């Protein structure tokens, strides 16, 4: 009989609870057992866990965060940490471990999979969307909409005061979140780590927009581009414009997942149980070209998902 | 020189304004002119229009509805109506007409395209998602999230009172909206016009759920399945449960578009201008398997988009 | 030692959970015990209850509905029902019972208080705001904002299609909800049970608004005014306008409480524990002229709270 | 004939548009003229203005920001600036000037009123709620709910990761916003400029909460308390807890006003026109103990509104 361990790891993302629910609700009717490990990889090491049944996951599909908890766990990057985890997994006779999380968490899953004593599966759940092998991670759509909601509000003030706003969004080292948010917000410019920031170009754009009679300018910037405080001050100094920096921060992580994040959670949770059933192991679930599929863990961890730079240009063209 | 006419037709959908903005912002820098016809096809017939420039579409990307207005227009289904429209289009030297709307509106576009004196293009914009040739229409994601928001609230009352709720969502004759909403809401059952409603099966499900200790039941039903008042009463009579019907109604049409609806609007608006540029005419823009593409108007109007019935089953499996 | 029983009764309202939390968190440090009765008065009769401690109410301040459950209970209106309840209250040595609910629930509390074997206290919690002795009930502000959110969306469609919308809001036999919603929404007209509906006046208003160039008309109507389907049809027949009825329904009950509903819940919950402490019994907490106070249960049940009709006039003046 | 000038000044607040609408809609039917000055006091000095009619304020009740614009204007604090403004007001034969804004803007109004050549009136509109003479300013309730919405999301992450979050809200030099937000959010602690911050007390509270088994701690801090970056680091250093600072920033200014902010805007706008009618001049409208009233401009500018410190204690008691 299959005994599935489930762990949510790394930064929390909206939809993690929905993924757990989907896994539990699909696995148990197939006569599998499900054990939830708490507080991320540190719960694997410290053996904090609880059995999950059909009712354990009632009424959680619409909740942000993860009821299993998550935590950073540097120890899991050591061989010693990994071995402690394996001992605990063995103790509970876990045959298959499902890791729900982002890029960093999947790297941990890959490390674990090398020991070959357990089947490992990844479900990409992250507001950063920085996982190779899937066009979209669970939680990404929610974070995009949260940031968008915030920028719609900031636009009110920007227009009233004829200001330039630089809005920092999350995304770790990548620009996926900034790109989607900026395109949806009708922002005047998007700054991403994948493209070198050219302040002269930004200054020229602002000057052109002023001439065109634009009342406000929103520059959406990924946290990965570097120090935006300096950048903002520089724009102010060089133009005299009233420029403000707004760092959206942690509000982007939480909240009830959007329909899309929940549906993706349902599809991924369901698919990963099917993969467990057929021992299609050491793989990460994903959505590619509109279809649910999977990618090898190693490939997912090593390859870098490209950012569609055409959309940066489109955003600027549409903000003309 | 290209002179583009733009018309929003049929029921309004969130993102229509974003589509108009994208068309205007892409077309004008390419030296095209854009004229907006007001109040749907009736504005084509009555010659109500205004020229659109880059600033006409400022600050509208986040607004629901359509600033050009829309209206039902039975006259447009007559040859006389069509000819009046063609006279006006000719008067304004319109070379290319872009129709933004749902299934019915595209049928009107097809009728017009048969006269061959004008190039016609469709942009699928509808909360019903019932257009062949695209996996998603502009506005659909917003309507799904609005309905979801409503059902999350209804769930509060359902759980507090241990009630069964039948929630009617829109969707005209199709079940796309009901399916996405029901799957995302974690509903216990989804009723769509594509599948015969079996009340005995529903009664059995409710009885099983009671035994399992479920505190509430949400049945999401498409308006297209027929009289839900009778259905609700029947469930009450046969089970004695406290059953309520909630018709979500017009709140599903309005509201600020979600990120996804806006991004789709940007992509579709941009693509349709490219199609105008290359005279890739009498076609409807669409998103298929994650890629922007287009389909012939006639094919889009005549073929019926399939509903993924597997997702109905998945919804029930996950609500176990 | 005081042993407090807590019951949520009648229709659920956002903020009920916050009230329970405030009671528990205030009472326990004062060495009182708190027992929660489940499913409204029927839980008093059937003796369904659980002890509540400080952690029982963690993380619920932001949840709609009531975690204790609620239910209609016709039996509680009989002497037999009341006596069963008293037996159970005695069994658990309840000295003080706090009833959280609206007008109907407080009438039940009054019935119980006549037996004189227990101290009874009321906390007005209702989306209808129809309780004498308080300017505002817990949950009212949330319901007003929910309905407002819905009408803002409906306005999008109304303006796009130049329609008249009749929007039915809740409120039982009173017009408090309709009045606040209509005034906040900038509606053209409000219909309340307290004022006879004059359809001729409505028709004249619509005609005047058409002449003024108004693009849409929103008529907010309380459910208590009677059959709005007929009313809507009559307007259509007499004017030829495109008129639609939208019944907001149950979405008005649920949802996370607004700041104001939560703050009121905190104040009322805290005050009612103080009243228990000083045996200021058989009274209902309230907010009058900005101050927390209380009113005798009998007075609260028998007197009728007046509706500020000046605000009806103001709404129309502002919609000119 | 009365000729009213209207100006929105200082930081924008949700409901400013609703106030302008109410003024215009009440004044014009009374045969008064209304001229809107743009971009705050700088528009008085630079003579940027436009006449407002009944249709100028259509469809704006639900919009954040101010369509008249606002701007900081240091020049208005000089005698020269004031005189330029008076010249322009005279040129347009303005008899009565209505200033819509917060504490700083009302001080400007007071300066202007000393010249005695024009009647001045204030409408308190600010997210900070720091105006003496009114229990609530227009926009305050909206900002409270926006911050609350943000904190509800942050709580998801805090609970998932068992973190301490310090959330900085606006409020300038006062703690009104922090107090209402913290009380409504169920926060563990509120820091306001009116009470000296005692870090030892905070550390002790966190230690006690850990012992009680609390999963997360939210400390809501007003921007006026000083450098929160240092404070947050200190907590981390002394406790080893995972502590994060989140600065909510500009999202608190914008957004569609809540029902309460809109209703207050309607009442204040209506009342100020009545004051103009009866030349009840050099006063600020307000809401005191639930009733619309007014206070002398000088008194409103010179006195300091007290903060209800009991509510700080209540917040902590309820978070036990």
User: Which residues of chain C neighbour B244 with C-beta distances below 8 Å?
Assistant: 250
Distance (Å, whole) CA D144 – CA D137: 12
Minimum-distance CB partner of D251 among A64, A154, A250: A154
pLDDT tens digit string along A58-107? 999 999 999 999 988 999 999 999 999 999 999 999 999 999 999 999 99
A156 is catalytic: no
The CATH number of residue C152's host domain is 3.40.50.460
**Å between C293 CA and nearest CA of chain B:** 29
Q: Which of residues 239-278 of A touch D (CB under 8 A)?
A: 242, 244, 246-251, 253-255
pLDDT tens digit string along B123-157? 999 999 999 999 999 999 999 999 999 999 999 99
Per-residue pLDDT, averaged over C1-20, amounts to 96
Q: Could you tell me if A266 and A132 lie in one domain?
A: yes
List of residues 6+ apart from A153 with CB closer than 8 A: D64, D146, D250, D251, D253, D254, D255
- What pLDDT shows up at residue C218? 97
Residue A310 belongs to a domain: no
- Which of C253, C281, C314 corresponds to the end of one domain? C253
Q: Suggest the residue from B105, B145, B161, B252 to mutate for an interface test with chain C (most C CBs closer than 10 A).
A: B161
- What pLDDT shows up at residue A116? 84
User: Which residues of chain D neighbour A11 with C-beta distances below 8 Å?
Assistant: 157
List of residues 6+ apart from D31 with CB closer than 8 A: D1, D2
Residue B204 belongs to a domain: yes
User: Which residues of chain D neighbour C314 with C-beta distances below 8 Å?
Assistant: 266-267, 270
Q: In what order do the strands lie in the sheet with D189-191?
A: D189-191, D217-222, D164-169, D243-247
Reply yes or no on whether the pLDDT at D213 is more than 90.
Answer: no
Chains with 3 or more CB pairs closer than 8 angstroms to C? B, D
Chains with 3 or more CB pairs closer than 8 angstroms to D? A, C
Minimum-distance CB partner of B144 among A185, A259, A289: A259
Q: Indicate the pLDDT class of residue B213, thresholds 50, 70 and 90.
A: confident
Q: In the 8-state DSSP scheme, what is residue D317?
A: H
The first and second tokens of residue C316, run together, are: 């129309």
Q: Indicate the pLDDT class of residue A213, thresholds 50, 70 and 90.
A: confident
Q: Could you tell me if C151 and C249 lie in one domain?
A: yes
Residue C43 belongs to a domain: yes
Q: Are C2 and C27 in contact (CB under 8 A)?
A: yes
Q: Could you tell me if C78 and C160 lie in one domain?
A: no
Q: Indicate the pLDDT class of residue A263, thresholds 50, 70 and 90.
A: very high
pLDDT tens digit string along C171-213? 999 999 999 999 999 999 999 999 999 999 999 999 999 998 8
Q: b/e string for A132-161 if b means 16 or more Cβ within 10 A? A: bbbebbbbbbbbbbbbbbbbbbbbbbbbbb
Closest by CA to D83, choosing from D117, D134, D33, D48, is D117
Q: Indicate the pLDDT class of residue A261, thresholds 50, 70 and 90.
A: very high
Q: Could you tell me if B163 and B206 lie in one domain?
A: yes
DSSP letter for each residue of B278-300: TT--SEEEEEETTEEEEEEHHHH
Minimum-distance CB partner of D263 among C25, C180, C262: C180
Per-residue pLDDT, averaged over C34-46, amounts to 97
- What pLDDT shows up at residue B177? 98
Per-residue pLDDT, averaged over C99-118, amounts to 95
Q: Could you tell me if D229 and D276 lie in one domain?
A: no
Q: Suggest the residue from B139, B180, B184 to mutate for an interface test with chain A (most A CBs closer than 10 A).
A: B184
Q: Could you tell me if D133 and D218 lie in one domain?
A: no
Q: Which of residues 195-234 of A touch B (CB under 8 A)?
A: 212-215
Number of domains in chain A: 2
Distance (Å, whole) CA B220 – CA B316: 12
- What pLDDT shows up at residue C63? 95
- What pLDDT shows up at residue C27? 98
Reply yes or no on whether the pLDDT at A15 is more than 90.
Answer: yes
Cβ pairs A/D, distance under 8 A: 108
Q: Are C128 and C296 in contact (CB under 8 A)?
A: no
Q: What are phi and psi of A260, to 5 degrees?
A: -65, -40
Chains with 3 or more CB pairs closer than 8 angstroms to A? B, D
Residue A185 belongs to a domain: yes
Run of H or E residues at A6: strand A3-8
Per-residue pLDDT, averaged over C23-49, amounts to 97
Between chains, do D262 and C183 touch, taking CB under 8 Å as contact? yes
Residue A313 belongs to a domain: no
Q: Suggest the residue from D154, D176, D184, D273 to mutate for an interface test with chain C (most C CBs closer than 10 A).
A: D184
- Which of A234, A253, A272 corresponds to the end of one domain? A253
- What pLDDT shows up at residue C84? 96
- What pLDDT shows up at residue C125? 98
Catalytic residue, from A12, A128, A130, A141: name it: A128
Minimum-distance CB partner of C260 among D260, D315, D317: D260
Q: Could you tell me if B122 and B238 lie in one domain?
A: no
Residue C314 belongs to a domain: no
Between chains, do C251 and B150 touch, taking CB under 8 Å as contact? yes
- What pLDDT shows up at residue B3? 98
Closest by CA to A253, choosing from A167, A172, A151, A155, is A172
Q: How much of chain D exceeds pLDDT 90, in percent?
A: 96
Cβ pairs B/C, distance under 8 A: 107
Q: Indicate the pLDDT class of residue B294, thresholds 50, 70 and 90.
A: very high
Q: Which of residues 84-143 of D touch A (CB under 8 A)?
A: none
- What pLDDT shows up at residue C116? 84
Q: Could you tell me if B250 and B266 lie in one domain?
A: no
pLDDT tens digit string along A133-189? 999 999 999 999 999 999 999 999 999 999 999 999 999 999 999 999 999 999 999
- What pLDDT shows up at residue A178? 98
The CATH number of residue A87's host domain is 3.40.50.450
- What pLDDT shows up at residue B215? 86
Reply yes or no on whether the pLDDT at C34 is more than 90.
Answer: yes
Residue A307 belongs to a domain: no
Dmax over CA atoms of chain C, in Å, equals 70
Catalytic residue, from C12, C96, C111, C128: name it: C128
- What pLDDT shows up at residue B116? 84
Minimum-distance CB partner of D270 among C145, C263, C314: C314
Reply yes or no on whether the pLDDT at D116 is more than 90.
Answer: no
Averaged confidence pLDDT in chain A? 96
Catalytic residue, from B12, B128, B130, B141: name it: B128
Q: Indicate the pLDDT class of residue D108, thresholds 50, 70 and 90.
A: very high
Between chains, do A183 and B59 touch, taking CB under 8 Å as contact? no
Distance (Å, whole) CA B291 – CA B309: 23
**Å between A164 CA and nearest CA of chain B:** 15
Distance (Å, whole) CA D297 – CA A225: 48
Q: Could you tell me if B10 and B121 lie in one domain?
A: yes
Range of D235's domain? Answer: 141-254
Count CB atoms within 10 A of the CB of residue B23.
29
Per-residue pLDDT, averaged over B269-282, amounts to 98
Q: Which of residues 159-178 of D touch A (CB under 8 A)?
A: 159-162, 165
Q: Indicate the pLDDT class of residue B194, thresholds 50, 70 and 90.
A: very high
- What pLDDT shows up at residue D215? 86
Q: Are B4 and B98 in contact (CB under 8 A)?
A: yes
Minimum-distance CB partner of B244 among C156, C160, C250: C250
Q: Could you tell me if D122 and D13 lie in one domain?
A: yes
Between chains, do C259 and D145 touch, taking CB under 8 Å as contact? yes
Averaged confidence pLDDT in chain D? 96
Beta-sheet pairing, B119-124 with B283-288:
parallel
Between chains, do C65 and B247 touch, taking CB under 8 Å as contact? no
Distance (Å, whole) CA A181 – CA A189: 11
Q: Could you tell me if D35 and D122 lie in one domain?
A: yes
Minimum CA–CA partner of B249 in chain C: C246
State the residue for tokens 């005419």.
B281
Distance (Å, whole) CA C144 – CA D305: 29
Minimum-distance CB partner of C65 among B146, B160, B246: B160
- For chain D, the straight-line distance linking the first and the last C-alpha, in angstroms and rounded, comes to 61
- What pLDDT shows up at residue A72? 86
Q: Could you tell me if C128 and C274 lie in one domain?
A: yes
Reply yes or no on whether the pLDDT at C54 is more than 90.
Answer: yes
Residue A308 belongs to a domain: no
- Which of B218, B238, B254 corresponds to the end of one domain? B254
Reply yes or no on whether the pLDDT at A3 is more than 90.
Answer: yes
Minimum CA–CA partner of A183 in chain B: B263
Between chains, do B69 and C247 touch, taking CB under 8 Å as contact? no
pLDDT tens digit string along C219-233? 999 999 999 999 999
User: Which residues of chain C neighbour D21 with C-beta distances below 8 Å?
Assistant: 186, 318
């Amino acid at each position: 009989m299959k005994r599935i361990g489930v762990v949510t790891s790394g930064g929390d993302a909206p939809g993690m609870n929905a993924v757990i629910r989907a896994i539990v609700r699909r696995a148990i009717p197939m006569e599998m057992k499900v054990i939830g490990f708490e507080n991320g990889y540190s719960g694997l090491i410290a053996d904090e866990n609880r059995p999950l049944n059909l009712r354990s996951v009632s009424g959680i599909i619409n909740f942000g965060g993860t009821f299993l908890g998550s935590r950073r766990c540097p120890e899991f990057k050591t061989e010693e940490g990994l071995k402690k985890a394996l001992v605990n997994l063995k103790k509970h006779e876990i045959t298959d471990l499902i890791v729900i999380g982002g890029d960093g968490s999947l790297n941990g899953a890959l490390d674990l999979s090398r020991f070959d004593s357990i089947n490992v599966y990844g479900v990409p759940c992250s507001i950063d969307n920085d996982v190779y092998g899937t066009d979209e991670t669970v939680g990404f759509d929610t974070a995009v909409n949260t940031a968008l909601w915030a920028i719609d509000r900031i636009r009110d003030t920007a227009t009233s005061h004829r200001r330039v706003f630089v809005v920092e969004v999350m995304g770790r080292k990548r620009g996926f979140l900034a790109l989607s948010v900026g395109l949806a917000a009708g922002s005047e410019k998007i700054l991403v780590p994948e493209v070198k920031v050219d302040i002269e170009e930004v200054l020229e754009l602002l000057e052109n927009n002023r001439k065109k009679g634009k009342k406000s300018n929103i520059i959406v910037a990924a946290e990965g581009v570097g120090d935006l405080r300096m950048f903002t001050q520089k724009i102010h100094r060089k133009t005299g414009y009233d420029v403000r920096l707004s760092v959206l921060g942690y509000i982007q992580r939480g909240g009830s997942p959007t329909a899309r994040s929940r549906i993706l959670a349902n599809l991924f949770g369901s698919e990963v149980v099917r993969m467990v059933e057929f021992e299609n192991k050491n793989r990460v679930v994903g959505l590619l070209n509109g279809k649910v599929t999977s990618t090898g863990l190693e490939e997912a961890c090593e390859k870098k998902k490209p950012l569609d730079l055409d959309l940066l240009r489109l955003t600027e063209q549409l903000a003309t």
